[in-house]
Amino acid sequence: MSKIEQRRLVQRLQAQGIKDQAILQAIYEIPRAFFVEEAFTRRCYENMAIPIGEGQTLSQPYIVARMTELLGLQAEHHVLEIGTGSGYQTALLAKLCHKVYSVERIKKLQWQAIHRLKKLELHNVQLRHADGWEGWKAKAPFDAIMVTAAAENMPIELLQQLRDGGRMVIPIGVGNQILQLITRIGDRYRVENIEDVKFVPLVAGELQ
Ligand code: SAH
């Protein structure tokens, strides 16, 4: 886990247009290699998605940073993440805001993530083994929601769990996917198309 690689990663993200200093600092501090299997520790600094087991992937650093930046996070925010996966994105959110709730449908990945987040002493995180299509109603409303798997269509439950003024980033589509930024304005939702992306699907139904 070399600090040189972590620093290079931050420099590359800056060159790619990521400006938020708090995000760049948090990315520098979180050892990315700690969230992937040993066989991928070198490759995890490249601009590519990394397999994390169970057919799932950790997104390339640029898209993780970009999605986080779009949420406009503040220190007092309560954030919901759908798709804990490796826990890397969860760790980043935990560094930036007050409380992170993260939902994952694959138990094995959730356990690994719990272990990693504990080791890094990130205690402002609560994880749940459940279907992300439902969100996490008991903890709503959220200041921000980040969905890290592609939904076939807009999950209505998630829209309802966003507080007024809150933001959600979500990849939408099957095959061709587009990253959308949703802002809640009273009972209305503003939708902005950000860029083409490639995520694993947000699976509906039975847990694993
Ligand atoms: N944020 C993750 C990315 C993981 S990939 C990271 O930083 O590593 C997307 C994750 O979404 C996978 O772990 C997958 O199991 C999970 N997922 C897919 N459908 C889901 C659903 N309906 N509810 C909760 N999690 C889901």
Residues of the chain with pLDDT under 50: none
pTM: predicted TM-score of the whole model, two decimal places: 0.97
What sign has the CA pseudo-torsion 121, 122, 128, 129? negative
Per residue in 49-65, pLDDT (tens digit) is 999 999 999 999 999 99
CATH number for the domain formed by residue range(s) 49-56+70-197: 3.40.50.150
Q: What is the pLDDT of residue 1?
A: 54
The alpha carbon of 175 and the centre of ligand 1 are apart by a number of angstroms equal to 17
Read off φ and ψ for residue 147, nearest 5 degrees: -110, 125
Which tokens go with 18?
A: 């990521």
Residue of 60, 100, 203 with the most ligand 1 atoms within 8 Å of its CB, for mutation: 203
The alpha carbon of 85 and the centre of ligand 1 are apart by a number of angstroms equal to 5
All structural domains of the chain with their residue ranges: 49-56+70-197
Q: What is the pLDDT of residue 142?
A: 98
